Amino acid sequence: MRTTIDIPEDLIKEAMKVTKSPTKTELIKKALYNIIQKNKIKSLKNYKGKIDIDIDLNIVRNRNEYIS
């Protein structure tokens, strides 16, 4: 999909430098992915302390020992 946007060139250059993105397209893809991931994480954090899960972590951590 082609889109025309006006972004300050110095901002693009700095972002490409710090992310080591070879192209502007790759930079925008990385930025969008990052925004999506951060918002998903933020959304999941809203559930902290609200979900009661009865899990025995000792069993989960050693689950490979029980599989034959």
What is the tens place of the pLDDT at every residue in 6-62? 999 999 999 999 999 999 999 999 999 999 999 999 998 888 777 777 778 887 787
Cβ atoms within 10 Å of 26's Cβ, excluding its own: 13
Q: Give the pTM.
A: 0.64
Closest CA to 12 of 31, 36, 39, 35: 31
The pLDDT value recorded for residue 68 is: 52
Q: Which amino acid is at 12?
A: I
8 A C-beta contact, residue 27 and residue 19 = yes
Residue 2 has pLDDT above 70, yes or no: yes
The pLDDT value recorded for residue 26 is: 97
The pLDDT value recorded for residue 65 is: 61
The pLDDT value recorded for residue 35 is: 97
